[in-house]
Amino acid sequence: MDTVCLCDGYAGGQYVLPPLPYEAAAVEPLLDAETVRLHYEKHHAAYVAGANEASALMRMIATGEMPECAAGSAAANLAFNLSGHMLHTLYWGSIASTPCAGPGGELADAINTAFGSYDGFLRLFKAVALRVKGSGWAVLAKDAVSHRLVVLGAHKHEDALLPRMRPLLVCDLWEHAYYLRYRNNRAGYVDAFLNQICWCAVDKRFNRNKQTHECHES
């Protein structure tokens, strides 16, 4: 199965929209093709464009081509749009288009250590997802301080994603991600998402971060 990594979201000095790892209709029953296309081609693409625009403006401020008073809004726009781009890239790769076994190996051990059991992780992830107010994300991440897994609720795109947290699995909770099919039933959407996680992709992210940690410690 094809996977998507964050490096696919940048090329030629620009942020770019990475290709979906599957056809738009391939993630039934979680999402319908229309939702996937609108989400990917309109919303995700808009964050890519916004990140490039904000990045260019930040450089113009640095070179003196734009006034310094624009720095606050430019920095906020870069944080919002770049975080949106990165999270969406991870989101598409978090969804399985074909049946996928649950976590195994060291990832399963890490989940059991952090949450007591796989069922405990599912219970906590759903509880956090249902309590994110308004637009945001539920995130399984690795804490680079304790090196344990944590579940976070992020508001908008960037709020409450703490420094040095490395997202492994993300669920988009903005209404555009699920409203065509689930209407206001966020719980139904989250349940469907948890049943269709691409654990092989999460495992690759987990092991990549583990190797990065070992390199930094050596």
pLDDT digits (tens, 9 = 90+) for 66-121: 999 999 999 999 999 999 999 999 999 999 999 889 999 999 999 999 999 999 99
Query: pLDDT band at 144, cuts 50/70/90?
Result: confident
**Does the pLDDT value for residue 210 go beyond 90?**
no
- First and final CA of the chain: distance in angstroms? 33
Position 169, amino acid: L
**Does the pLDDT value for residue 64 go beyond 60?**
yes
Of 21, 27, 28, the closest CA to residue 2 belongs to 21
Instruction: Find out whether 189 and 183 touch, Cβ atoms under 8 Å.
Output: no
Give the whole-angstrom CA distance, residue 80 versus residue 25: 28
- The predicted model gives 187-198 an average pLDDT of 98
Give the whole-angstrom CA distance, residue 13 versus residue 95: 28
CA atoms within 13 A on the CB side of 116: 5
User: What is residue 216's predicted lDDT score, i.e. its pLDDT?
Assistant: 38
Query: pLDDT band at 1, cuts 50/70/90?
Result: very low
User: What is residue 6's predicted lDDT score, i.e. its pLDDT?
Assistant: 86
User: What is residue 214's predicted lDDT score, i.e. its pLDDT?
Assistant: 44
> Can the peptide bond before residue 18 be classed as cis, meaning omega within 30 degrees of 0?
no
DSSP state of 70: G
- The predicted model gives 128-137 an average pLDDT of 96
Average pLDDT, the chain: 92
- Between 6-20, 33-47, 80-94, 146-160, the lowest mean confidence (pLDDT) is in 146-160
User: What is residue 167's predicted lDDT score, i.e. its pLDDT?
Assistant: 94
Check if CATH label 3.55.40.20 holds for domain 105-217.
yes
Q: Whose structure tokens read 């007591």? A: 116
Give the whole-angstrom CA distance, residue 162 versus residue 59: 25
Position 104, amino acid: G
Query: pLDDT band at 217, cuts 50/70/90?
Result: very low
**Does the pLDDT value for residue 5 go beyond 90?**
no
Kindly list the domain boundaries of the chain, sorted by start residue: 105-217
Q: What is the pTM for the complete model shown?
A: 0.93
Residues 6+ apart with CB under 8 A from 178: 31, 35, 172, 186, 189
- The predicted model gives 126-149 an average pLDDT of 95
- The predicted model gives 6-26 an average pLDDT of 96
- Phi and psi, residue 19, nearest 5°: -65, 145
User: What is residue 18's predicted lDDT score, i.e. its pLDDT?
Assistant: 97
**Does the pLDDT value for residue 10 go beyond 50?**
yes
Give 110-177 as a DSSP string. Answer: HHHHHHSSHHHHHHHHHHHHHTS-SSEEEEEEEETTT--EEEEEEETTTBT--TTEEEEEEEE-SGGG
Residues 6+ apart with CB under 8 A from 172: 39, 87, 88, 91, 137, 178
- Taking only the tens place, the pLDDT of each residue in 152-168 is 999 998 876 667 789 99
